[in-house]
Amino acid sequence: MNRTILLLSAIVLLLSSCAKKIDGTTDETMKASIKEIMKSLDDEKKKKFNESMMLITLDEFAIKKLMEDGEVDETVLNTKAKFDGKTADEIIAEGDKIKAEMEQKKKEQAKGEIGE
């Protein structure tokens, strides 16, 4: 029983480590790794991946703008760090999370406007 669990855990770990990840070390490695990930995705997942990357990037810039810090370079670095080491599925999950948060904010805003 314990051997089975250990074997299954090892297989899951091995498979998860095989997933292609974004390398945010430099701009060039990041572009190359994103390109490589895109090649491995079907059309539907490519669309979700691109949408999620845009949502994550815009979310980072929107937060920075709200703070009115004006540090665009730092924001770019923070955004790059958010992508570094992530798989396509992790990027898509983060995009889905941001999208859900945006939907919730819209609903709350609409309720507030109705209540006025």
Q: What is the pLDDT of residue 89?
A: 93
Task: Evaluate if pTM is beyond 0.75.
Answer: no
Q: Write the CB contacts of 38 (distance below 8 Å, at least 6 apart in sequence).
A: 46, 49
60-64, 81-85, 98-102, 111-115: the lowest-pLDDT one: 60-64
pLDDT given at position 106: 87
pLDDT band at 17 (very low <50, low <70, confident <90, very high): very low
Task: State mean pLDDT over 58-64.
Answer: 67
Residue 113 has pLDDT above 90, yes or no: no
Under DSSP, the state recorded for 1 is: -
Contact 84, 24 (CB under 8 A): yes
Return the higher-pLDDT residue of 34 and 69.
Answer: 34
Which amino acid, one-letter code, is at 56? I
